[in-house]
Structure formats: C-alpha cells, structure tokens
Amino acid sequence: MSHDHSIEDALKQLDKHGYKHTKKRETMLTNLIDRDGYLSAREMFELLKPIFPTISYDTVYRNLHDFSVINLVEETEINGEMKFKYQCGGGHIGHHHHFICTKCGASREIEMCPMDFFQDRLPGCKIESHRFEIFGLCEKCVAAFSR
C-alpha cells in the first residue's frame, strides 16, 4: 500500500468516526505511517513542535489515543511509556503479534499466535482477549551495541 493511499484511508477513517480533518492530525498520521516502529507521544510532540509551535503535549497524546480507539494505531507499553504505531497494513492485516526493539522501537510482525497452544490447555474456558509481544534488541541495535 502506498504512502498516499494509506494517508487517504486514515483520513477517511477519521471522517467516518466523526473526527475533523486537520493539518495536525494529517501530519501525525504521516509521521506514524512513515515510521517503521513505535513512537511515544513525547517523540511525536518533538516532531510536531517545529511545524506547529503552539501544539500542546496533551493534544498530541489525546489524538494518539483517539487514533487507537478507532483502530488507526496500535499501542503498547515499553519501559513504562505508551508507544504508538500505525496499524500494520493500515488495519487490513488480521490477527498478529510483534517483536519490538526496546532501543529504537522498530517492530516486526509475528504471524503465528501462541494462544492456540493455551486454548487447547484450558478446556471449557473462553479466552476473550490477549496480548502477546516479544521485546528485545533488533539486529541494527545489537550490531551498534556490540561495537
């Protein structure tokens, strides 16, 4: 999916859920789409501040949260801080999990789900939701760290 197509889809999702199309939201979505991994609200704020000098951290965080509620972004917690990334495949990819680099935030999709294993071992139970993420250092950070 092209960058332009992704941004267009994201803006349609905002509109569909009653959110106004603003340049700030578009810029936030563009930053998320262009990034290969997770970004904190603080990192997003630092990217936007030079473009929108009056933007507040609360506005950035609130918009990221809103994006999450309407499934435009995925969120996770890394080292006690919430991080956000644009939905893999723009939300068109089915159920999946991630390996997440704790240093640079890069992520990689894991296409299998370990819950099949657990469901088989919990007869009579109904698992309603789960979250499975693997944290560590990506190959670039490992190489940089071992120098």
Give residue 11's domain range. 3-88
pLDDT of residue 1: 44
CATH of residue 109's domain is: 3.30.1490.190
The reply to whether 11 and 51 lie within a common domain is: yes
CA 57 – CA 87 distance, rounded (Å): 22
By three-state DSSP, how is residue 103 classified? Answer: coil
Query: Cα-flanking dihedrals φ and ψ of residue 42, to 5°?
Result: -65, -45
End-to-end CA distance of the chain: 36
Decide if pLDDT at 17 tops 90.
Answer: yes
Which stretches of the chain are DSSP H helices? 3-16, 23-34, 41-48, 57-69, 115-120, 139-145
pLDDT of residue 27: 97
Mean pLDDT of the chain: 85
Q: Is the pTM of the predicted complex or chain greater than 0.75?
A: no
* Choice among 38-42, 81-85, 109-113, 118-122 with the minimum mean pLDDT: 109-113
The reply to whether 123 and 74 lie within a common domain is: no
CA 120 – CA 87 distance, rounded (Å): 29
- Name the pairing type of β-strands 133-136 and 97-101: parallel
Task: Work out how many domains the chain is built from and give that number.
Answer: 2
Decide if pLDDT at 127 tops 60.
Answer: yes
* Choice among 17-26, 41-50, 123-132 with the minimum mean pLDDT: 123-132
Copy the structure tokens of residue 17: 């859920």
pLDDT in tens, 46-66: 999 999 999 999 999 999 999
